[in-house]
Amino acid sequence: MDKKDDSVLFLLRDIKELVFGIALSLLGGILLFASTLDWEADELFLILSFPVLAYGVFHIWNGWTNHKLVEKNGEGQKKEEQGGPHAL
């Protein structure tokens, strides 16, 4: 597997983290909203909503900021040595 495929896999992993985090944040928000309703389990919903919401925000943050830069060392020099666009 070459480096181009690796960068696509890293991007897909980041997108998966973002989607999972958004789903968890929505679930935490729904639980927080359900805790305001006059049900018998409103305290349970309130207790469960904050960790789920925090875990969702963590996944969103991780998917948004966790990027791996794949550098190809020496590739720019090889193109110049072969008479690439920047060769004199």
Annotated domain spans of the chain: 3-81
- Please list the alpha-helical segments (H only) found in the chain: 3-36, 42-65, 75-81
Distance (Å, whole) CA 32 – CA 54 = 12
The pLDDT score that the predictor gives to residue 1 is 46
Consecutive 10-residue averages of pLDDT for the chain (88 residues): 65 90 94 86 88 92 76 55 56
pTM beyond cutoff 0.85: no
